[in-house]
Amino acid sequence: GESVGLHLPTLSVQEGDNSIINCAYSNSASDYFIWYKQESGKGPQFIIDIRSNMDKRQGQRVTVLLNKTVKHLSLQIAATQPGDSAVYFCAERSYGGSQGNLIFGKGTKLSVKP
Amino acid sequence: DTGVSQDPRHKITKRGQNVTFRCDPISEHNRLYWYRQTLGQGPEFLTYFQNEAQLEKSRLLSDRFSAERPKGSFSTLEIQRTEQGDSAMYLCASSLGQGTGELFFGEGSRLTVL
């Protein structure tokens, strides 16, 4: 229900520390994964993506790790800054599935303490 | 600003009224998507267009919902006979199409049905 949905998993980190946000997916047919960041009152913003033929991809201050064996995805943020405070969503797309239908997870709220 | 724009940003309506949202995608993007997001949840796919063709509709899209993209540019999402359960953020996104799953989201249109 609505009250359960409000209780997002929350990760609280100190400014300058590294953050790791985890995501479990259930569909072994998923071949493409994306991390989005959503700040309060705004639309989701693309961070980084990874295809299933890779297990790691790096961007600027962010790294995505994919473990297909256990169907787990993680987002690592280096030297976390206050501006990183937001809700982070992983999303997946199934191989052969709709080109439009990204399935989003529930999200994790990242809180950065100065 | 050349991002995805949505209008109106906020809409309060009484149950039973019709509402329409507009989305203007990034100009060179041929794909346009509608998602719905409720508090504390990730976005849920509703429908998407490639140019003017509506290629997929979610089962979430009841017959009270209709989306159009008449000239392959802007799109409208209409909800007829609104219900309180329709209260949500309606997100529009666009993309270049095949080869990338990166969707560029707008800021959303928040609907409150009283």
Size of chain A, expressed as the number of residues it contains = 114
Beta-carbon separation of B58 and A104 below 8 A: no
Say how far apart CA B20 and CA A50 lie, in whole Å. Answer: 35
Provide the chain A residues 82-111 that lie in CB contact (below 8 A) with chain B.
89, 91, 93, 98-107
Q: Distance (Å) from the C-alpha of residue A81 to the closest C-alpha of chain B?
A: 23
Q: Is the pLDDT of residue A53 over 70?
A: yes
Helix (H) / strand (E) element for A2: namely helix A2-6
Helix boundaries (H) for chain B: none
Give the residue with greater pLDDT, B63 vs A29: B63
Average pLDDT score over chain A = 88
Question: What are the Cα distances from residue B97, in Å, to A98, B50, B94?
Answer: 12, 8, 8
Per-residue pLDDT band for A1 (boundaries 50, 70, 90) equals: very low
Beta-carbon separation of A5 and B41 below 8 A: yes
Contact A71, A24 (CB under 8 A): yes
Q: Which residues, given as ranges, of chain B have pLDDT below 50? A: none
Beta-carbon separation of A6 and B58 below 8 A: no
